[in-house]
Structure 1
Amino acid sequence: MPRPAAAPRSAEEAAPPAATPTRSSSPARSAGVETTPAKDAAPGLRPATRRQWIAAGVLVALAVVGAATILVAIARWFVGLEPIAAFVEQYHGTAPLPEGAPVGIPPWLSWSHFANALLIVLIIRSGLQVRAERKPEAYWTSKRTGTKASLTVWLHTSLDVLWVLNGVVFVVLLIATGQWMRIVPTTWEVVPHAISAGLQYATLDWPIEDGWVAYNALQQLAYFATVFIAAPLAIITGVRMSGWWPKGNERLDRAYPIAWARAVHFPVMLYFVVFIVTHVLLVLTTGALRNLNHMYAARDADDWIGFLWFAGSLLVIAGAWIAARPALLVPIAQRFGAVSSR
Structure 2
Amino acid sequence: MSTPTKKHAGNKWAKPALVAGAIVVGLLVLVLAARWFTGLDGVKSWMGSYPGQSELPATAPVGFPAWLGWQHFLNMFFIVLIIRSGWQVRTSKRPPAHWIRNNKGLIKTRNAPTKISLDLWFHLTLDALWVLNGLIFIIVIFATGQWLRIVPTTWDVFPNAISAGLQYLSLNWPTENGWVNYNSLQLLTYFITVFIAAPLAIITGIRMSGAWPKNARALNKFYPIEAARRVHFPVMIYFVLFIIVHVTLVLATGALRNLNHMYGSSDAVNWWGFGIFALSLLVTAGAWFAAQPLFLRPIASLTGKVTK
Decide: shared fold, TM above 0.5.
yes
Q: Separation in 2 of the partners of 1:329 and 1:234?
A: 24
1:270 is matched with 237
Which position in structure 1 is the counterpart of 2:106? none
Equivalence for 1:84: 43
Bigger drift between 53-62 and 252-261 goes to: 53-62
1:189 aligned residue (147, 152, 156) = 156
> Could you say what secondary structure the match of 2:196 adopts?
helix
Could you give the per-residue CA deviations for residues 15-58 of structure 1, whole angstroms, max 9, x where no partner exists?
A: xxxxxxxxxxxxxxxxxxxxxxxxxxxxx9x9974455456555
Instruction: Tell me, yes or no, if structure 1 residue 246 matches structure 2 residue 205.
Output: no
CA separation in 1, counterparts of 2:152 and 2:259?
Answer: 24
The amino acid across from 2:98 in the alignment is Y
Equivalent in the alignment of 2:168: 201
Question: Hey, what does 2:93 align to over in structure 1?
Answer: 134
Please identify which structure carries the higher helix content. Answer: 2
| CA drift at 1:309 | 1.0
Q: CA deviation at 1:307?
A: 1.0
- Unpaired segments ≥5 residues, structure 2: 104-108
Q: What does residue 71 of structure 1 align with?
A: 30
CA distance in 1, matches of 2:174, 2:139: 31
How many Å separate the matches in 2 of 1:137 and 1:176? 44
Query: What letter corresponds to residue 68 of structure 1 in structure 2?
Result: L
Check 1:236–1:205 CA distance in 2 against 1; reply closer, same or farther (3 A cut): same
Distance of 1:112 and 1:50 partners within structure 2: 45
Give the partner amino acid of 2:271. Answer: W
Residue of structure 2 equivalent to 1:304 = 271
Cα 1:328–1:200 change in 2 (3 A) is same
Kindly tell me the number of residue pairs found equivalent between the two proteins.
297
Aligned residue in 2 for 1:104: 63
Aligned partner of residue 99 in structure 2, secondary structure: strand
Q: 1:80 to 1:324 in 2, by over 3 A?
A: same
The Cα RMSD (Å) is 1.7
Of residues 108, 111, 125 in structure 1, which corresponds to 2:84? Answer: 125
Match of 1:287 in 2: 254
Q: Residue 324 of structure 1 corresponds to which residue in structure 2? A: 291
Match of 1:339 in 2: 306
Letter in 1 for 2:80: V
The aligned runs of 1:27-176 (5 Å cut-off) are 49-53=8-12, 57-144=16-103, 145=109, 146-176=113-143
Aligned-partner Cα distance in 2 for 1:161–1:251: 26
Q: Give the share of equivalent positions with the same residue, in percent.
A: 58
Q: Which has the larger radius of gyration?
A: 1
CA 48–318 in structure 1, closer or farther in 2 if over 3 Å, else same: farther
